[in-house]
Structures are given as C-alpha cells and as structure tokens.
Structure 1
Amino acid sequence: MDAVALRVPAGEAPHAGEGREIVGEGTPEAAWRSWRGLAQLSRAGLDELVPPGRRTVIVAPHPDDEVLGAGGLLSALAERRREVLIVGVTEGEGSHPGSALWHAKALAARRGAERSEGLQALGLAAGIDRLGYADGQLASDIPGLARRLGETLRQDDVVFATWACDGHPDHEAVGQAAARACAARGARLLQMPVWMWHWAQPGSERVPWQRAIRFELGDAALARKRAAIACHRSQLEADATRGAPPILGTAALARWLRPYEVFFT
C-alpha cells in the first residue's frame, strides 16, 4: 500500500476522489474505537465469508495490501489449509519517489521478498500471480486490468479486492476492475477498506456501512498479522534521503491492527 500525500484523483468518476484525502495522520484510532457503529456491524465467520471448498483470491494493488486489509483472514485460511491465491497487481516500485536509498528495480525486488516473508509469517503457502502493472498507473487501464483478472478467476472463487472508493487511485482501480471481472465470471466479491480509515470519519455517509461485515480475529491470528506487517520493513522505515517518515506510520498501524477486519459486500 503506497502512501499518497495529496488529494488523490478519481477512480470511478471525474470527481470521485474529492474528500478522500490521504494527508497527515488521518482520523485517530481513538475516534474509531469510541464509535459504537463498529461494534454494531454485522459479523460473519470464516465459513460464511469463504464457504469450504471455494478458493480465496486476494487482489492486492501493492505488496502489503493483502496483509493490511485481510491478514487476519489469511491467517485463518492458512490454519484451515484452504486454497488461496494472491494476485499482485504491481510490485510497489513507486512507494519511494525521488529516493536515493531505493531505486525502483531494487525496491520492487525488496518488496517482493517482504511479501513472501509476510505470507510465511501468516503460515500461508499461497501462490502469487504477479501481473506486472506499473505502480501508480492502474487507473489508466481499468478495462484491461478487469480482463486480466477475469482470465485468472474461477466461477466459484471468493475474491477480496481493495475498495473502489478507498482513496488511493491504484486501490480504487483494483476495486473497480475486480467488480467487473467478478460480474463477468460469476465470482463473489468482497472489498477491503485500507485507506478509508485514514480519510473517513465515524458514521460518514460516504461509507456503505450497511454493506459492512466484521470478521473477528483471535489472539493468535492478530499476532500473526502483526508479525506479517513487520516483515514489510521498507514501508516501516523512514527515508532520510528524502526527509520522509515511514509510509506505514504508528497512527496508520493502529487502524490495521484491530482485533477484527471489515469487508464490504
């Protein structure tokens, strides 16, 4: 999940990105914790989200998005020895623009290794389908990405992709492309809010809370998710060569390390 420190462009419509700003530290986790709405969300267990015998496909715009959005779910799937495929849309080479520490090719290799370590920390031996799209450019070819995803999907897959209104242009493009691909193939789609927790406010009317499902994580699954996130060191370390703080800062991590995950149907 590459940080975007500006007002992000639209994915769905010419002005769809307005109000979804990824700047500063975002909405404090304390504000989310104090909002009763999260406690009142509908709950679903693993077999309700992914019925036995069906493959789980996680479509991640960048290495680490699968862990941030669904690391606890992946841990639970690994424990049950379920079939999982990770679709890595980009290699995340654009997360440190202008850095003298990380050049794009080396960063892509590093992030790929971090992804593998993170999945291992979850206990997951998942296949990874790397699509090789350029980081930061997904909104320019949503129909093409939808076709590529459609070639990968099975009719009975349960697909998790980043939310189509998440705030990051790559996340939104993936959400839209996945929706098209799932509709064409007849697969079930759930969307993962990743950046939403940053720009939205509790009770925001821009968020489809009526379609939100809460998946509870046990202590072991949460610990494995924490360990998996820790593998993404390139995103957790400051870059002194461009005076940039960690992309995955303390405030953001607090929102991703809750004892539950939320998905939109």
Structure 2
Amino acid sequence: MDRFIHAGQATPEARWLACEALRTAPAIHAAELVPAGHRAVVLAPHPDDEVLAVGGLIRQLARLQRTLCVLAVTDGEASHPGSSCWPAGRLAATRAREQGRALRVLGVPAPVQRLGFPDGGVAPRQQALAEALRRLLQPNDIVFTTWRLDGHPDHEATGAACADATARCGAQCVEVPVWGWHWSRPEDAPMPWPRARRLALDAQDLRAKQLALRAFRTQLRPDPSTGAAPILDAASRARAARPFELLFV
C-alpha cells in the first residue's frame, strides 16, 4: 500500500469518524498510560507533532503531576523549501519557540530537549537516533512517539528507533498515528486495531490542545514567497479537533 502523503488527498474525516474500529476502540485513561512513579517521554519528529499526536494527553499528565519530558528529534527546518521568508536557520529557531509556547499552554514549563537530527534526514540516521535514545531513556519510562507506518519518513524512522531503544532499555513505546490518518483508509485496515486505545478529551483538554496548535504559526499560514499552502491543512486541523486521541499501546 502507498503510505506516502499526497497534498489534497486526505481521507475525509467523516469516514474516520464512521469507522467502527475507531469508534469501538477500548477506552484508556492517562493514569493507566503513565502510572504513578513512571516518567512520560514524548518523542516528536518535528515541532508540532507532540501536540497533533498527544496534546490532550500531555495536558492530562501535567494535571496529574506526572514527570514529563519532551524530546525534539529535529527542529523542523525543512518545512518551507525554497522560502525566502523562512530560511532554514530562522525557521528552526522560530519553530523551537513555537514548540515552547505550545507546551506551556498544555502545562509543561520545562524546556524541550533538542536532539539536533536533520529535518527530512532521520531515516538514514535511524540507528544513531536509537543509540541516543538508549542513553536518555530509563526503564520506567513510557515513551509516546509517531507510528512506525505513519507515512512520513521522519515519523516512521523515529517510531522504529524508539521501538528499538525501548526494547533494549526496558521502557515502553506507545505509537500514535499523525499522518497515517491522511493516507490510509478505514476499509484497508492498515492500522493495528488490536493495540488501539482511545483517550477521551474533555472540553478543557480540547480547548488547550487547540490553543497549543495555534502557537505553530509557521505551519498554519501560507508562505507568500513561494505560494505554498499551510503545512497543517484543513484535514490536519480537523483531526486535531477530535474529542479523543488514539494510541497504539
């Protein structure tokens, strides 16, 4: 199956919301996902992936006063190719600031730990990322990251590196689809539904997630220098507005 992301060809949100496997996925709660005494680690391939994937969960864990660490694999410097408005250095610095603002909205004041891998170049460095994670992770960590079949090379390599590192150090890896919703279709059943768990978001969680997403202005506005549309299109924003998050446990 083609897992590549094609602009303007997202599976309509209405089809996902009508999907029986999605509607009937067993419920799970933040306190179950990260029991007391465990650390939550959110591993984001790019700034904004942590909000898109588990923004509501982050807020819930912050309210539970769980120890929470966010790791940024890349700084997202390649999201605007050819842009005179957003050369790579400026874009990386701006996206890092956006990420910090978003996390503060969700109740996480601690700084993000930046791993410095190149945006768009994680796949050839997957083993190096796995080794870096092995040095950073602890056996009682619960690590949330992108799905190994998510459709974006950086997301897939990050998920695979996380699975490798957690298996070796005794931590737990929880995968979350971000772009997988875009390219896959309910009838094709590519997602590992037996592992799927549904985390409910109340109105306050959802509002905080939406406010956090608005921090990523670079991803929500068109680029006047190239004419490129916003990176986070209407389909991405619709998925981020769901009153739940789906995780592969």
TM range (shorter): over 0.9
Percent identity, aligned pairs only, is 45
Structure 2 residue matching 1:22: 3-state secondary structure: coil
1:24 aligns with 2:17: no
Structure 1 runs of 4+ aligned residues shifted over 3 Å read none
The aligned counterpart of 2:100 is: 116
Distance 1:123 1:142 in 2: 31
Matched, 1:244 2:232: no
Matched, 1:43 2:40: no
How do 1:94-133 residues align onto structure 2 when only pairs under 5 Å count? 94-133=78-117
139, 144, 149: which one aligns with 1:160: 144
Amino acid at match of 2:168: A
What is the alpha-carbon root mean square deviation over aligned residues? 1.0
Matched position secondary structure for 1:85: strand
Stretch moving more, 95-104 or 120-129: 120-129
Q: Which residue of 2 aligns with 1:62?
A: 46
Partner residue of 1:207 out of 191, 216, 239:
191
User: Which letter does structure 2 place at the counterpart of 1:210?
Assistant: P
Instruction: Supply the AA of the counterpart residue of 2:22.
Output: L
Secondary structure of the residue aligned to 1:261 is: strand
Give the 3-state SS of the residue equivalent to 1:108 in structure 2: helix
8 Å CA contact retained: 2:100, 2:111: no
Structure 1 residue 225: Cα displacement: 0.2
Residue of structure 2 aligned with 1:78, choices 62, 71, 80: 62
TM-score normalised to structure 1 length: 0.91
1:66-116: CA deviations, max 9, x gaps? 010000000101112211000101100000000111000000010000001
Contact 1:62/1:90 (8 A) holds in 2: yes
CA distance in 1, matches of 2:183, 2:228: 20
Task: Compute the displacement of 1:22 (Å).
Answer: 0.8
Question: Is the CA contact 2:78–2:88 (under 8 Å) kept in the aligned structure 1?
Answer: yes
Letter in 2 for 1:24: A
User: Unmatched 5+ residue regions in structure 1?
Assistant: 1-17
Does 2:184 correspond to 1:196?
A: no
Letter in 1 for 2:136: T
Q: Tell me which of 174, 195, 218 is aligned to 1:234.
A: 218
Structure 2 CA distance for aligned equivalents of residues 149 and 159 of structure 1: 10
Q: How big is the shift at 1:37?
A: 2.1
- Count residues in correspondence: 248
| CA deviation after TM superposition for structure 1 residue 21, in Å | 2.3
